[in-house]
Amino acid sequence: MKIFVLLGNRMKDDGSLSDLMKLRLELAVKYYFENKPDYVIVSGGIANPVAGVAEADKMEEYLLASGVPTEVIIKEDKSLTTKQNAEFSCPKAKELGADTLVLCTSKEHMNRWYLNPVRLFKRYLKKYGAADIKLETYTND
């Protein structure tokens, strides 16, 4: 089972999507319609308290408006950091029976040397007894 994980990005103060989040969402829609993963986890909480809205809620709205079916979208709306994206999304992926996890974010985010998403997801897959889940990445190249 293939599960796609879309990492959030801090909302603007008015609750609208940042340009970086729009880019990630466009990538997610493209991936979904080209590859049809079994589930899409949208991962992001209320990282901007001024906006007062969870990134996962806005990501879900965008995906639904783009034609992604509601039954494939799983919300993880508690994480405030990349570390928490991994910590809270990995158990969901394991529970859903993932054998492949596709991690989607922007290239700049993926290439950070500190708090690297790939390293963090590998760590938490191992922590939750799911180190056998294959980890792939999907970014803007």
pLDDT at 141: 73
Domain spans in the chain, listed from the N-terminal domain onward = 6-129
Taking 80 as the threshold, does the pLDDT of residue 131 lie above it? yes
What's this model's pTM, rounded to 2 decimal places? 0.94
CA distance 107 to 105: 7
Res. 113 pLDDT band, cuts 50 70 90: low
Give domain 6-129's CATH architecture: 3-Layer(aba) Sandwich (3.40)
Of 3-12, 34-43, 90-99, 107-116, the one with minimum mean pLDDT is 107-116
pLDDT at 44: 96
CA distance 8 to 86: 12
CA distance 58 to 32: 17
In this predicted model, what pLDDT tens digit does every residue of 4-36 receive, in sequence order?
Answer: 999 999 999 999 999 999 999 999 999 999 999
Res. 115 pLDDT band, cuts 50 70 90: confident
- Secondary structure element (H or E) that encloses residue 57, with its range: helix 55-65
End-to-end distance of the chain based on CA atoms, in angstroms?
Answer: 25
pLDDT at 109: 72
Dihedral of alpha carbons 41, 77, 105, 101, sign = negative
pLDDT at 9: 92
CA distance 81 to 10: 10
pLDDT at 107: 79
CA distance 86 to 123: 8
φ, ψ for residue 97, nearest 5 deg: 90, 30
